[in-house]
Structures are given as structure tokens and as C-alpha cells.
A and B are shown apart, each in its own frame.
Chain A
Amino acid sequence: MTWELSLTAMMTAYVLAILFDLARVLHRAEFWVWGSTALVAYGWFTHTLDLGGRFADAWERGGSPVSNWSHWCLAIAWVLVGCDLFLKLRRPATAWGVFLLPLAIAYLAAAWRIPAGDGFQTPRAYWLLALTHGGLLLAAAIFVSIGFAGGVMYLMQARRLKLKVAASRWPRLPSLEWLWWWNERLLVLSVVCLLSGLGAGIAMNVASPQREAQPIPWHEPLVWASILMMIWVVTVAVFHGFYPPARLGNKVAYLTVASFFLFALLLWIVFVFPGDHTRPEKSIRVTGTILGLSPPEAWGRKGGAV
């Protein structure tokens, strides 16, 4: 019940913040800017308390923070909202919320739909690889999501400039140069994190049979989706590295948007066909973790699968 309450509070705050950001087009007043910022600050505060409570709970139960998909989505949403709040305070003229908050809401909805009890399966012996795998994929998810928002903003700004739409007709967007600069870096970071994160996961899976944990079967949809994602990421890296125009303007934006859609597809496959990557918490003792933040006493426990 508490979870539903805090989720409703967060979602309401974020939806209202988006509406406030959009209201600036119709009525120019500082009220909308500060109203939107206050709503996001309130939502983020609730979000922080909720996430903190979950982490503390997981810790007390011998588990770890971000130990299941629900926590994972909540953490991404939390970072996205934090970015929105930071940017709102730094550049209040831009309606960041219109682009970042819908993504945060989508992650919150995903967190709500996914059963909280499903924990990640991680062999205790490979906690460092698990940390690398989970941490990098979490970072990649954040970079890809922010990159997507940046890419959409870039394409929208470029379109408005091509159509000669007056700056006042829509909430202000950052300059193309600024967006391009960020998108380019986010693309590189997301490629690096995705490649390294997926690589760490594959390495862990290959090594698992030799130790105490069961590997994830290679025929699982998650594995194939991950391989597809890796092929895409390698293609992006090659394209980016060897074709200079791919490092400029619209192409970077297209790449960031495409990366996000493929990533969303990967997540959808993971959520719909969870397979052996996640198992019901009852049968699993969470020791090794996605962020490697499990309590020291848990490290000594027996029970390979987490």
C-alpha cells in the first residue's frame, strides 16, 4: 500500500510538472517554471525516500540495493528526475521536464509492473564481474535514456529551425551545438558501458559452469537480444569512428534515438521473458549483487546463486 501511495505521489508530481512545462507555451509566467521545479523537487524527495527505504530493507534482509528489475527501474527513474531537477535549476528557461520526465514515468511504470520479488541471479564467486555487469548496464541505461531525450530535443530544435518557427512558440530548447555536444558524449559513454557491461555478463556466464552457479542458457531470448544489442553497439562505434559526418548534428541524434529504441526492446524482452536471469526471491539468497553493495556478512554466506 505504501509503495502504491508513494508511486502515486511521484507520478502525480511528475505528470503535473510536465503539464506546467507545457503551460509555458500558452501563458508566459515565472509561476510555471517555479511550479514545475517545486513539483519535481517534491517528487524527487518522495522518490529518494522510497528508494532509500527499499535499499535499507534489502540491506537488512541480507540482500542488496538494486537487486531486482523493479529496483533497477526505480534507480534509473531517480537519476533521470535528478538530472531534470539539476538542469531546471541550471537552465530554467528550458522545458527539460517535457523530455526527461516521460522517460522517468515509463521506468516508474515498469518498476510497478515488474514483480518486486524477482532478484538477479549472480554467482557469489563472480561478484566483481556482477558488479561490473550490473553497474555498467545501469549506467548505460541512464546514458541511453538521457541521450534519447537529448536526441529528440536536437531533432525537434533542428526541425523548428528548418521550419523557421519563432523561438517563443514553444518552450525554449538548448542550442543545437549544446545538444550535439552532449549527445555525442552520451553516445560514446553508452556504447562503452553497454559493450563492457554485456561483455562482463557474457564472461560471467561462460565462467559459471566451472564454479558453483548455474549459467543462463545461451538459447534464452535475453541472450539473443543482448547479442543483437552488441552488434548494434559495435556498428555505432564503427560508424562513429570511421565516418566523420556521423559525429555531427542530426546523425548523432538519430543514433542516440535508435540506441534507445533498441535498448527499450532489450528491456521489453527481459521483462516479458525473464528466464533464468531473474529468479523468485524465495529460492535465492542475494549475495553477489548488481552494484556489489551487499553487506559484508552476506559475502560469507553459503549459497552461490543470488
Chain B
Amino acid sequence: MDASRQNENSITFSFEAIGTSWIIDVYKTLSPQDEGVLLTQIKNRIKEFDLAYSRFKPDSLVSRMSKHPGNYKLPSDAHPMFELYEDMYKMTRGAFTPLIGNTLHDTGYDAVYSFRPKPQDQITPPPTWQEAIEFNHKSNEILIKKESIILDFGGIGKGYLIDIIGELLKKSGINSFLIDAGGDILHINNTSAAYKGDGNKYKNDANSSAAAYHTHVTSSTNHTIRVGLEHPADKTKVIGVVEIKNQAICASAGNRRAWANYHHIINPHTLSSPTEILATWVIAKTTIIADTLATCLFFEPAETFLNAGYEFEYLIIYPDFSIKKSDGFKAELFTL
């Protein structure tokens, strides 16, 4: 079932898309019609994103670009993603790159999930940004300079899409919601802002149920969301709990999406998956930043990004289960 009512004042949408489970809690009373319209809008927006950026869809823009080099006009949402990729590419000295697509494909992480890696010496290292692509910030166009360039937006895409769906919800007048796409989470609660300056706003509302709803949301969602930090070696356990409010939290780890000697993060310089870190969590204002940095912390120390002005809190677990975290990562950790 796609939509379910937990109580009168909130709705949960759950569905599968882009290879993961989405659970969206909307803290608002909606009519059944509005509910249906909203769910369709959400799903269409995800489909649109997937059709542009998925390397697994044979008819996607990315797949078309891999067949024919040349100049391509990108959707208007491409800009923030490319800007961040460019910045992270520089800061990680080329390790975090959308050009990892061919490499992932060679290791067996392909459209049919074959997971049969080529021998190590036959795995294609990603080309450099300069030799393969050029992104034009003004025209929002990308020039593909070489044959068979498979772009992979896995490092940013999901986090960015969560933000996009969050914006869609806001535009639909929903100020409080929780989006969970496979453990990457965005919590927004702007209900208190709606009350600002006009305490009588809802009292005059002809629709009394609307007034009741707002009261409910304020009292029931004005608290934080308790997020468990999944144990990197045992998904039935958590190693701690962190509370978020009006924030996003994303994780990255080598234990899931793992096959043969690889997991979903591959260092282009070594053509292997990093093993120096077990897992990372990043909390930030936006999911795009949290998702991106959770991966980038596998390549560079947090200070690199903090010094560059990125605002986030982080927790890293090393193979001996020791940790490093920022002061602001206020987690209750379970320790020996």
C-alpha cells in the first residue's frame, strides 16, 4: 500500500524507487484526492530525475550521453549537482567524481547487477574531469568529450533528490515532514514559523478541522527525531542515537552494497574500495550536503571540507570500532 494514515493528522507514503525504499511522513491532514495528487507528483518527480541521471536506465540522458559524445542541454536541476561535484572533485583530488561510472561498471556494479568484476588490471580508471567533460554553468550544458563516458551521480543524486522532494512538499503547503530514503533522512518542521506574528490566523479559518490540525502538528512534531546509528557490521544493532531537527542525516559504509572485494565506494586512484573507514554519518542542513560529505569523508579528513566553509557535523567509525567525531555531533554513543 502506498499511503497509510497513522492517525487523523498524518499520512505516510511508502514506495520503492531508484532502487531503495521511500517512507515519507507528512504531518498534515489531506483529503483523499489531495493525497493521491501529492503521491503522483512525488513519484513523477522521482521518475523524471531517474530518467535524466540514472546509468541503469537504457533510455536515460546519461545512457544516451555514454553512446554519443557531444554537447547536451541538462535539466534545470543539474546545476547545484555539478557545482558540488566540481568542488568535491577538487577537494578530494579527483577521488570523488561522476566519472567513476565506467569503473563501477567494470567491477560488476552494472545495470543488471552482474557483480562479476573484471580482473584488477582490466578495470578502467576514471578519466580526469578535464579530459572527459566540461560543464557550462551559464548555459547548463555539458560537453562529453570522449566515447563511452558513463556518468554516475550516485555520490550526490539520492541526497539531492530527497531535497527536491522536500521542496515539492513545501510548495504543496506542507511545512512538516520526514523523508527517509533508505536510511538517508530529511526532517523539516517549520510549523512554529507558521504561527509567527498572528496567533489568530487559524481561529478565523472557516475550516475548523484545519485549525485543529495545526494545533496537533505543533504539539506532536515540535520535538526532535531520534535516529539510530546502524552498527556497521550488524544491522540488527545500533551503536548510538542522535537527535535531529530541521536537519538531514546521511550515512555511508562499506558493509552494505558490497560484492566481491568491492563496496559502492571505489577510490579511482587505487581502484579498490577504501577499508580504512567502516562507516560515516554526516548531519547538515540539506541532504545533498550530508549525502555527499558522508562519501567524501572516505577520501579526505573532515577538516578539508570544514576549512572550505562547509557546515556539517560528522561521526566516523574505524575498523577497530574507535571513532572520531565533531563536537557538534551530539550523539548518545554506546561504548564499552
The answer to whether A and B come from one shared complex is no
Tell me the B residues contacting A by CB distance below 8 Å.
Answer: none
Tell me the A residues contacting B by CB distance below 8 Å.
Answer: none
